[in-house]
Structure 1
Amino acid sequence: MKTILFTLLTFFIYRFAKWVYSKKSLPIFHSLLLAPILLILLINIMNVSANQYLEATKWLTHLLGPATVAFAVPIYKHLPTIKKYMGTIVISVTTGTLAAIFSTFTLSKLIHLKADLLTSILPRSITTPIAIEVSKEIGGLPTLTTVFVILTGVMGGVMGPSVIKWLSIKTPIAKGLALGMAAHGAGTNKAMEYGEQEATFSSLAMIFAAWITLLWGVLLLPALINMKPIF
């Protein structure tokens, strides 16, 4: 019963948040930010603990994997274009993942974050299911990683269009890769507003970034984490 109740509650609050953002496109009203805030307020009013809510809705988290796999459909549709620009895509996404990891690591060291926070925030620039696995691999806290991933997605989804406009990025491929790399799922959702091709390359960037970051999770992140302080 709780599963049905909280699932429906989550769904309708998310739809309400989407509606609010469509009327008032302000960062505070972004659906990935407004919906959790409303849910937190509501479950507190209902005297429901976070653990009870998570237990009742845990299957929603499991759907993130299949949802990510579903991005293969538009990718297959634009396969000839993807093959043509494969070299550009790989170089762009690899550079993007390195920039995300090193900028996060540097800022974390500058503000002297604790080791568990550092390892939790490093995978923030990839989609949630993969970020959780990378976080576990390097000794982070998956719950915290999820929060950082959502914040990164919201900020990228909100700020991305302004950055694209400011940099005068015109081509659908460049727009899609930028949004997918910077804001994963939220960026892909925003890319859909531009068009199908932008959404396709955003999906591709998100998936490639996950693969490449998994590789960095084995080869690069442990070395960074064990590096002696230099600040």
Structure 2
Amino acid sequence: MALLCFLGTILVFLLSQRVYRRWRFVLLQPMLTSFLAVVIILLLTHIPYNTYMKGSQYLTDALQPATVAFAIPFYRNFALFRRHVKNILLSIASGSLIAIITSVELARWFDLGGTIAHSIAPRSVTTPIAMEISQNIGGVPVLTATFVLMTGIIGILVGPQLIRWLGIRSPIGQGTLMGMGAHGIGTARAFEESHEAGTIASLSMILAGCMTVVLMPLLSHVLLH
């Protein structure tokens, strides 16, 4: 059953990609449609979550090397980063700080409790880093992964529209916004726009993760206690 869940997840995602490439409609983003499809299938077949996770754990483990692989386009386009280093670093630093503060304040506003606040705090970085941070500050890593996924889905739905409304034509601005706002999913979406935007998005995602690792322990004592 675990193997079937593993292969089924891959098949659902590949089919979702084909549907998106065929119609290119914003609500048909593969991460959104495949997520909903898997949930519906599990509900209809009554497959326990623990059983599904045994099979999909291989995909979860693959997130770490996949995240590291985003450094490859950055290495190939280091000159592009060097030309815009100040703007990029300032944007990522301020974005990381705002993301942490707004996440915690959102949890407080809705009185979600300490555990959920700890789990939602690192939602704006890529899943492997977010789960590790969550565990270190007293959150629930699996819950954090859910918040990260929700953030990414909202990011790819809203991000491109926001870019058009604000008239952001620079691939540097587009990539920074998508990498910061929707991490891995946003980076994949940015590569659809241009290679430069995708490169900056991957860099933004990686640097945002590094900055959050540094900022979170410092801010957690102030915001989460």
TM-score relative to the length of structure 1? 0.92
Matched residue SS, 1:60: helix
Counterparts of 2:156 and 2:47 in 1: how far apart (Å)? Answer: 31
Counterparts of 2:108 and 2:7 in 1: how far apart (Å)? Answer: 42
Q: CA deviation at 1:106?
A: 2.0
Q: CA deviation at 1:21?
A: 2.9
Matched residue SS, 2:51: helix
Contact 2:100/2:216 (8 A) holds in 1 = no
Counterparts of 2:35 and 2:137 in 1: how far apart (Å)? Answer: 27
Counterparts of 2:198 and 2:45 in 1: how far apart (Å)? Answer: 38
Please name the residue that 2:172 is paired with. Answer: 173
Mean Cα displacement is larger for which, 91-100 or 35-44?
Answer: 35-44
Counterparts of 2:219 and 2:117 in 1: how far apart (Å)? Answer: 14
Could you list the per-position Cα deviations for residues 106-132 of structure 1 after superposition, in whole angstroms to 9, with x for gaps in the alignment?
222222121111111111100000000
Partner letter of residue 56 of structure 1? G
1:73 equivalent in alignment to 2:72? yes
Partner letter of residue 195 of structure 2? E
TM-score relative to the length of structure 2? 0.95
Please name the residue that 1:56 is paired with. Answer: 55
Contact 1:137/1:217 (8 A) holds in 2 = no
Counterparts of 1:196 and 1:30 in 2: how far apart (Å)? Answer: 19
Please name the residue that 1:193 is paired with. Answer: 192
Question: Between the two proteins, what is the percent identity of the paired residues?
Answer: 35
Contact 2:42/2:48 (8 A) holds in 1 = yes
Counterparts of 2:29 and 2:3 in 1: how far apart (Å)? Answer: 25
Q: CA deviation at 1:40?
A: 2.1
Please name the residue that 1:229 is paired with. Answer: none
Q: CA deviation at 1:24?
A: 5.5
Q: How does 1:183-222 map to 2 (within 5 A)?
A: 183-222=182-221
Q: CA deviation at 1:83?
A: 1.7
Counterparts of 1:127 and 1:188 in 2: how far apart (Å)? Answer: 11
Could you list the per-position Cα deviations for residues 115-157 of structure 1 after superposition, in whole angstroms to 9, with x for gaps in the alignment?
1111111111000000000110111111111111011001111
Counterparts of 1:32 and 1:222 in 2: how far apart (Å)? Answer: 34
Q: CA deviation at 1:26?
A: 3.9
Tell me the number of residue pairs that the alignment of Structure 1 and Structure 2 aligns.
224
Please name the residue that 2:124 is paired with. Answer: 125
Counterparts of 1:162 and 1:19 in 2: how far apart (Å)? Answer: 22
The unaligned stretches of length 5 or more in structure 2 are none
Q: Which runs of 4+ in 1 moved over 4 A?
A: none
Q: CA deviation at 1:81?
A: 1.6
Residues 86/225 of structure 1: CA separation in 2 closer, same or farther (3 Å cut): same
CA RMSD of aligned residues (A): 1.4
Could you list the per-position Cα deviations for residues 27-81 of structure 1 after superposition, in whole angstroms to 9, with x for gaps in the alignment?
3x33222212211222333332100110122111010011011111110111112
Please name the residue that 2:147 is paired with. Answer: 148
* Structure whose residues are more often helix by fraction: 2
The unaligned stretches of length 5 or more in structure 1 are 227-231
Please name the residue that 2:134 is paired with. Answer: 135
1:93 equivalent in alignment to 2:102? no
Counterparts of 1:68 and 1:127 in 2: how far apart (Å)? Answer: 8
Matched residue SS, 2:168: coil
Matched residue SS, 1:52: helix
